[in-house]
């Protein structure tokens, strides 16, 4: 694989050059994989095509860079390849993030792109859904890459084969965690001002567009990709049957055939009449409504713990099971409070530090099997378990997490101190030192101590702000409600006496 030196790193690429008069197809891979994902597709493409593949920096064989990643830096990689290989306009095809990169590059350099092909590109997804998915991947990348591989394989290919699993495993092993996190960050910042919708922007593209999605794509429904393709003047949509997200791995021959026909064929714009515009606008309003409802109705796991009992719900209904046996509810609560994943070592250190390691590992294995069995009876594949870690594979919520996140907003001065003080008083009305009475372990006790310390810190901060603004009545209300979380016994009475 040739090397191109850019700034302080080496970019690895592969260029199958046939003839300068022939079409050149540039393939852009998705996140968490690298250019090896194209190995089974390239032999199926038109043998006359010039084909260029490469690894983004921090991926595959391309080395890392000290400079932070940005779309401008990714554009510079592409422009360096154009210059080094003396390329004119090319045909671009990208999967997932590769499609986003291809679109944004085309916006900035339209003269360098003849056609665009988007493979499994999520162009219209509510921000929270997509953001949660990406943050979950970041968490697993940090905790246990083996666990992340299992998740990515399960959600990105169909059927799962040893060859696909090995390819994804090897690719993910080479991904730089730092750059992966940075890519997620710039993607959210640039493409999610409101929600991830490229439909309006794409409607301005002059290049012909081919959209292909797998029938079983877990992130973006394939039928919607075809509907959205109809809203792009030069758009064509196609569902790839019996395929998941990485359609280039699942159905390489079918994907290659469509790319060959698209690049070689006539690509005159579809008629775009006034009636078409009106119908497209009406359809977009329907889609807006549908996606808003999807955001509010999306099934999720919820654990409630602050009423002195523990309850686990799926889509609002209790999940039946022996939650009081083998630390099931404690383990689930710990995993949720750690943002959906935990290592086995952390679980052992937290719940059985006094046991010898071999005995602790055996006991934890029994406990995890019990927890997994509860989920399998009601919600299969909710847990992903590897030799090193455990993760939730569903959207989850917890009333204590909500409570703690609401607390942190009270220290931000985006709203008046009066409003924040009133909200704090409401939170004090909800909180009770015995709110986690359903759990008797030491970890939960330490969690209560940390929570009360934070409540105390916020109370003191709000009291100082209220005092500086002369809002004595609100000070008194907080002090009357805050005895359970006062920094020391008698603090609230002492302050009240002073105010009186």
Residue found under tokens 């003839």: 19
Local confidence band at 24 (pLDDT 50, 70, 90 cut-offs): very high
CATH of the domain at 201: 3.40.50.1820
Picking from 343, 371, 397, the residue at the C-terminal end of a domain is 397
Picking from 365, 397, 429, the residue at the C-terminal end of a domain is 397
The reply to whether 199 falls in a domain is yes
Picking from 374, 397, 420, the residue at the C-terminal end of a domain is 397
Local confidence band at 195 (pLDDT 50, 70, 90 cut-offs): very low
Residue 26 shares a structural domain with residue 135: yes
Residue 15 shares a structural domain with residue 34: yes
Cα 200 to its chain centre, rounded Å, is: 23
The reply to whether 248 falls in a domain is yes
The reply to whether 404 falls in a domain is no
Average of per-residue pLDDT across 113-117: 95
Q: Are 198 and 124 in contact (CB under 8 A)?
A: yes
Residue 376 shares a structural domain with residue 426: no
Residue 385 shares a structural domain with residue 469: no
Residue 92 shares a structural domain with residue 228: yes
The reply to whether 258 falls in a domain is yes
Average of per-residue pLDDT across 299-321: 90
Average of per-residue pLDDT across 180-203: 68
The reply to whether 403 falls in a domain is no
Q: How many folded domains does the chain comprise? A: 3
Which two three-digit tokens encode residue 247? 């359609």
Residue 113 shares a structural domain with residue 233: yes
122-181: per-residue pLDDT in tens?
A: 776 556 666 667 777 777 877 788 888 888 888 899 999 999 999 999 998 888 777 777
DSSP H/E element including 5: strand 3-6
Residue 426 shares a structural domain with residue 311: no
- Round the average pLDDT of the chain to a whole number and report it: 87
Average of per-residue pLDDT across 330-350: 93
DSSP H/E element including 499: helix 491-499
Q: Are 240 and 247 in contact (CB under 8 A)?
A: yes
DSSP H/E element including 102: helix 97-108
- CA dist 201 and 95 (Å) reads 18
Residue 193 shares a structural domain with residue 63: yes
CATH of the domain at 358: 1.10.10.10
The reply to whether 405 falls in a domain is no
Residue 305 shares a structural domain with residue 268: no
pLDDT score of 291 more than 70: no
Residue 274 shares a structural domain with residue 209: yes
pLDDT score of 415 more than 50: yes
Residue 50 shares a structural domain with residue 165: yes
The reply to whether 445 falls in a domain is yes
435-485: per-residue pLDDT in tens?
A: 999 998 899 999 999 999 999 999 999 999 999 999 999 999 999 999 999
Range with lowest mean pLDDT among 113-127, 290-304, 315-329, 375-389: 290-304
The reply to whether 90 falls in a domain is yes
Residue 43: other Cβ atoms inside 10 A = 11
- Domain span at 482: 410-499
**Sign of the CA dihedral with 43 first, then 49, 50, and 55 last:** negative
Residue 266 shares a structural domain with residue 353: no
Strand partners, 240: 214
């Amino acid at each position: 694989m040739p090397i191109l030196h850019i700034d302080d790193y080496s970019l690895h690429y592969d260029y199958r050059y046939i003839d300068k008069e022939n079409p050149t197809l540039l393939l852009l891979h998705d996140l968490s994989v690298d250019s090896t994902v194209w190995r089974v597709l390239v032999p199926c493409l038109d043998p006359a095509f010039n084909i260029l593949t490469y690894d983004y920096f921090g991926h595959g064989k391309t080395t890392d860079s000290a400079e932070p990643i940005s779309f401008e830096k990714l554009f510079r990689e592409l422009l360096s390849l154009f210059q080094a290989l003396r390329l004119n306009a090319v045909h671009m095809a990208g999967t997932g993030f590769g499609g986003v990169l291809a679109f944004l590059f085309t916006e900035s350099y339209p003269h360098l792109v003849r056609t665009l092909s988007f493979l499994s590109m999520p162009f219209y997804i509510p921000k929270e859904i997509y953001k949660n998915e990406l943050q979950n991947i970041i968490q697993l990348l940090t905790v246990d890459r083996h666990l992340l591989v299992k998740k990515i394989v399960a959600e990105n290919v169909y059927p799962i084969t040893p060859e696909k699993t090995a390819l994804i495993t090897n690719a993910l092993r080479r991904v730089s965690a730092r750059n992966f996190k940075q890519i997620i960050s710039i993607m959210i910042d640039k493409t999610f001002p409101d929600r991830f919708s490229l439909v309006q922007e794409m409607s301005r593209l002059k290049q012909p567009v081919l959209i292909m999605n797998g029938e079983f794509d877990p992130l973006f429904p394939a039928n919607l990709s075809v509907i959205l393709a109809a809203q792009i003047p030069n758009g064509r949509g196609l569902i790839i049957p019996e395929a998941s997200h990485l359609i280039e791995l699942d159905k390489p021959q079918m994907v290659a055939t469509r790319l060959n026909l698209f690049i070689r064929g006539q690509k005159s714009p579809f008629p775009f009449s006034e009636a078409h515009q009106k119908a497209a606008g009406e359809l977009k309003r329907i889609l807006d409504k549908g996606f808003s409802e999807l955001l509010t109705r999306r099934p999720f796991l919820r654990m409630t713990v602050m009423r002195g009992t523990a309850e686990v719900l799926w889509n609002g209904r209790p999940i039946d099971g022996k939650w009081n046996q083998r630390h099931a509810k404690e383990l689930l609560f710990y995993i949720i409070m750690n943002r959906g994943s935990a290592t086995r070592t952390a679980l052992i250190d937290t719940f059985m530090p006094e046991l010898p390691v071999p005995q602790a590992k055996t006991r934890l294995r029994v406990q995890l099997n019990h927890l997994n069995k509860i989920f399998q009876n009601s919600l299969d594949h909710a847990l992903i378990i590897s030799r090193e870690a455990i993760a939730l594979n569903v959207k989850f919520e917890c009333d204590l997490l909500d409570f703690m996140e609401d607390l942190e907003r009270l220290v931000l001065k985006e709203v008046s101190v009066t409003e924040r003080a009133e909200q704090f008083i409401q939170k004090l009305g909800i909180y009770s030192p015995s709110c986690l009475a359903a759990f008797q372990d030491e970890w939960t006790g330490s969690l209560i101590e940390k929570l009360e310390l934070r409540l105390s810190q916020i109370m003191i901060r709000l009291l100082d702000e209220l005092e500086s603004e002369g809002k004595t009545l609100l000070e008194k209300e907080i002090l009357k409600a805050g005895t359970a979380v006062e920094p020391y016994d008698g603090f609230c009475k002492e302050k009240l006496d002073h105010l009186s």
